[in-house]
Structure 1
Amino acid sequence: CNLASKKMEAIHAILVYSQNVEELLKRRKVYREIIFKYLAAQGIPMPPSSEKHLLIDRVKQYWSGQLTTHTSESGDRKPHTQVILVQKTQREKSLQDDIHDLGEEFCQWFFALLNSQHPLGVKSEERWGPEHFWEDAKMKFCYDTLEKNTEEYVGSEMVSLRLLSLVKEEYLLFNPNLRANGLKCAMSRHGLVLVAVAGTVHRDNTCLGIFEQIFGLINCPIRENTWKIKVVNLKIVGQNALEPGVQIEKPSIKYEPNQLQELYDGKELTNIQHLLEVSLLTMGSYNNK
């Protein structure tokens, strides 16, 4: 799928291919005014007419701990290590926001396209097919009836067809909860973007239950702004086995992005099934009729 993830990719590329701080700040897109405002925000006064190379030198001094800010000189000096930690936290927060935006846009695209394959759905101009998956894509599908059922598929064609059949042949519609805690995203150290989303499953005018789905997305190295699905883990829990009086809560993801990241780093992608099993809000069954 083509996603507007230019911001995240551009930031990553610039950081990777910049040899040092000076080379990074000398880039044309890093305007003199931006550096000037940054120094001012850090309490480092500079003459308004300062040239860009002088501003860069002052930033280098500040980042290396050779410079005390105006605030520090007045008696409120903070250790340089604290400055580094703040900068690191800000960078991580910005990256996490970009990843979350990517995950939200992916879910909007994916579920709109999948639901459009429903016989009564609004047709999409975009085609559903294996081209949206890596050739060695894997899928684990778990649904609860009176006993647990698990299906596994390997290959872009098989994964694509199984997801398609849920909507086209079993007449299911997926309604993801992209607000509050219904969506959690993370990136592994290898660049795999993890998207965990919860929502409700419907057929006609009936809400059958809830679902929880986790995607592993990998950026295509030869097609700009294109992410393909590497792994899919889907679990559906229906209502008909719930105890009397039990209501389905608003679907949400109970674990945090760092748990997703830790689970994937250095492990098989499909190991996430365990996390799915312990994090679902309610136990029930998937009505496959």
Structure 2
Amino acid sequence: MPWLSGTERAGCAKILKFMSKGDLLSLSDTVTNKMIVVENVTEAMETILSFTKNAEELLRRKKVYRDLIFKYLANEGVVMPPNSEKHQLVKRALELWSSGKATVDESLQGATDETTQRRSTQTASDTTDLKVEVGFDPQALGQQFCQWFFQLLNSQNPSLGQLPQDWGPQHFWPDVKLRLLSKAGSEQMDEFLGAKLVSLRLLALTKEERLLLCPNLDPHGLRTLASPHGLVLVAVAGTIHRDEACLGIFEQIFGLIRSPLENNSWKIKFVNLKIRGQDALGGTEVAAPALSYNSSELQLLCS
């Protein structure tokens, strides 16, 4: 997967610094398909740079205005006619970066070189580790994870009469984020941050709201992706029930990362959950819902 070079990353970072906070947050949403929640300007910049496949793609974004690129080039000592069009400025910035003549912040350069270095070494070592690990298969991991997660969560539903299993914040990373989007009549988006809050909100679905989440583990309902640097995405669709009634469907994306301090067990780094009630489905067949996310959308989350 192509990454920004150190020079491109440093140059793009300088351009992003000229942007307003609102535009940065909006651009971060666009670049990640609203899958990653950012809290501030620094997080937004880091997310945009991490999820951008190439520099030209970023410079051509609507929010990266012509004037910002013009101002950046002027600061770099590149004089362009004041009436230059945006595509000409984009071309000139790309030429500047490929020539290696752009000035790079020492602090940024260290970080970008180190990041690039780390990515290349991780790509090499992580993929071999995964292969050595009895032919690591993300799809098999996704199946096992979903069976474990939904069995664990559903066991908290009192209407099942089961002994609740060991649910809690221990299954999540401390900085885990949950985005919960529900469409039932009106649309509502809630965000939760931190292992305790996230585990309590998910628990409330089954314990208080008495919902039962049934994942569709067939190939069209489950998709997984492994990134070279350790993140595994598991995306699954399924139906939601209460007692005998089917209330609608859900789509859930989990980001999983191993915890080296806990026997390399997988822990949840983020959760995006979309719930649609029957009335929002317009009579669609919900027996075995398919995922609406395609591979490239998931790839963005994995970048």
TM-score by length of 2: 0.54
Query: Are 1:250 and 2:288 matched, yes or no?
Result: yes
Contact residue 135 and residue 155 of structure 1 kept, 8 A: yes
Shift, 1:14, TM fit: 9.2
Instruction: Name the residue aligned to 1:196.
Output: 235
Amino acid at match of 1:238: G
Kept after mapping to 2: 8 A contact 1:186/1:258:
no
State the partner residue of 1:128: 167
Deviation at 1:255, TM superposition (A): 3.7
| SS at structure 1 position matched to 2:159 | coil
Structure 2: gaps of 5 or more residues: 1-124
| Contact map agreement 1:181 1:254 (CA 8 A) in 2 | no
Q: Specify the alignment match of 1:15 in structure 2.
A: 128
Instruction: Return the letter of the residue paired with 1:15.
Output: T
Change (3 A) 1:249 1:226: same
Aligned to 2:300: 262
SS in 1 for 2:225: strand
How far is the alpha carbon of 1:223 from its aligned partner? 2.3
Indicate how the Cα distance of structure 1 residues 262 and 146 shifts in structure 2: closer, same or farther if over 3 A, else same. Answer: same
Question: How much has 1:253 moved relative to structure 2?
Answer: 1.5
Unpaired stretches in structure 1, ≥5 consecutive residues: 1-11, 18-90, 266-289
Once the two structures are TM-superposed, the CA of residue 125 in structure 1 deviates from its matched residue by 6.7
Change (3 A) 1:242 1:191: closer
CA deviation string 1:112-155 (max 9, x = no partner): 00000001225357410000001110000000122210110000
Q: Does 2:247 match 1:208?
A: yes
* Percent identical: 51
The code of the aligned residue for 2:214 comes to N
Residue identity opposite 1:250 in structure 2: A
Q: In structure 2, how many angstroms separate the alpha carbons of the residues matched to 1:208 and 1:221?
A: 39
Cα RMSD of the aligned pairs, angstroms, is 2.6
Please identify runs of 4+ aligned residues in structure 1 that moved more than 6 A.
none
Opposite residue 198 of structure 2, the aligned amino acid is V
The number of residues matched between the two structures is 178
How far 1:257 moved relative to its partner? 4.0
CA pair 113-246 structure 1, distance change in 2 beyond 3 A:
closer
Query: Residues 38-67 of structure 1, C-alpha deviation per residue, up to 9 Å, x if partnerless?
Result: xxxxxxxxxxxxxxxxxxxxxxxxxxxxxx
- What is the CA–CA distance in structure 2 between the aligned matches of 1:108 and 1:172, rounded to whole Å? 17
2:186 — aligned with what?
147
Q: CA shift at 1:222, angstroms? A: 2.0
1:221-236 alignment runs, 5 A limit: 221-236=260-275
Q: Distance in 1 between matches of 2:266 and 2:184?
A: 34
Q: Which has the larger radius of gyration?
A: 1
Q: Which residue of 1 aligns with 2:222?
A: 183
What's the CA shift for 1:242? Answer: 4.3
